[in-house]
Structure 1
Amino acid sequence: MIEDPLAALRPLHEPPPVSWWPPAPGWWIVLLLIVAAAIMIFRYERRMAPRRAALHELKLLKKNMDKIDHPVATLNQLLKRYALVCWPAAKVASLTGEDWLFFLDASGGNGKFSKGVGRLLLSDPYQKQHTDSNKITQLITLTQRWIKTNTPQKNPDV
């Protein structure tokens, strides 16, 4: 009788398992994309920090409007500080009075600073009696829109 010819064969041996290192080129590309996205998000968040801080301060001002001595003067200071973050100091720092209101209108105020409720910025800080809270609330809303319209620049002093 004939012996089984398959019995003479050696047993099968498995190839070595695939190593996890080094990864395939596609994984390197994915890693580079993740790192680039993280860097871009970090830079964007850092650049937008003044906007978040200004909006937070505005929210606190609106909440504590009755406790602040001169809310319109505080609002004007906030606008000036934020403008100095967004534009070169040579352009913004010296603006006062009507020129300041015209600048605010030209940069997103749509005429509501020089011809609307924004005129409070000129007169109210110097009044003994303050304007009613309804007008101040309108001014806070206008300021909030102005801050959201303007984006901080990377290098405002250039």
Structure 2
Amino acid sequence: MNPAALQLRDIHLPAPISWWPPAPGWWVLVGLFIMLVVIGAWWRHRHQCRYYRRIALSQLAELEERCRQTPQEVALIPELSRLLRHMAILHYPSHNCAGLEGQQWLTFLDQPFDDAPFTTGVGQVLARGPYQRQEQLEYPDQLISLCRRWINHLPAVKPRRMP
């Protein structure tokens, strides 16, 4: 046998594996990472925008607890009115709601609702209550739940940073 007549060739190695394009698994991993970053940023933004609402709900819960423990010592109507007015100023700065009083204030509070619970329901006491002698409320739990419902309907706003 003549090796030249066999026409044998030497072993050829394949080309080295390139780093680009990556395997499909890496594409899936990059896609999941991007999705995780976007969801994290969205959640953080949402959490920050609901900061005032969380504070208002915790203040309302604290007021409710104080009212249950010592109902005669808590000035419920002025406290609720102050809390709602503060939240209205924070969430609706362009509506100039700080100077509203009486029926105008109740109409402003009724904006997110169809059933007008402030002007025709238990919320009417907020128009006259803060300016009168403290009286015993018939339905303090309904008034507190109405205020909680109003706070839950507030639009999301990003907290302002102090300079």
How high is the TM-score relative to the length of structure 1?
0.74
> Is 1:147 matched up with 2:151?
yes
Q: In structure 2, what residue type is equivalent to 1:88?
A: P
Displacement of 1:108 after TM fit? 2.5
Displacement of 1:63 after TM fit? 0.7
User: Aligned to 2:103, which of 94, 98, 115?
Assistant: 98
Match of 1:52 in 2: 54
> Is 1:33 matched up with 2:35?
yes
Equivalent residues of 1:124, 1:131 under 8 A apart? no
> Residue deviations 1:58-90, cap 9 Å, x none?
111111012654211110111111112221244
Alpha-carbon distance between aligned partners in 1 of 2:51 and 2:149, rounded to the nearest angstrom = 17
Unaligned runs of 5+ in 1: 1-18
Match of 1:88 in 2: 93
Equivalent residues of 1:109, 1:142 under 8 A apart? no
Alpha-carbon distance between aligned partners in 2 of 1:139 and 1:53, rounded to the nearest angstrom = 19
> Residue deviations 1:37-70, cap 9 Å, x none?
1111001001011111111111111110126542
Q: Which runs of 4+ in 1 moved over 4 A?
A: none
Closer/same/farther in 2, CA of residues 100 and 54 from structure 1, 3 Å limit:
same
Higher helix proportion (structure 1 or 2): 1
Say how many residue pairs are matched: 136
Percent of matched pairs sharing the same residue: 28
Closer/same/farther in 2, CA of residues 144 and 47 from structure 1, 3 Å limit:
same
RMSD over aligned Cα, in angstroms?
2.7
> Residue deviations 1:101-146, cap 9 Å, x none?
01111233731111221111122223334223x4222111111111
Alpha-carbon distance between aligned partners in 2 of 1:24 and 1:69, rounded to the nearest angstrom = 62
Closer/same/farther in 2, CA of residues 52 and 107 from structure 1, 3 Å limit:
same
How high is the TM-score relative to the length of structure 2?
0.72
Equivalent residues of 2:52, 2:159 under 8 A apart? no
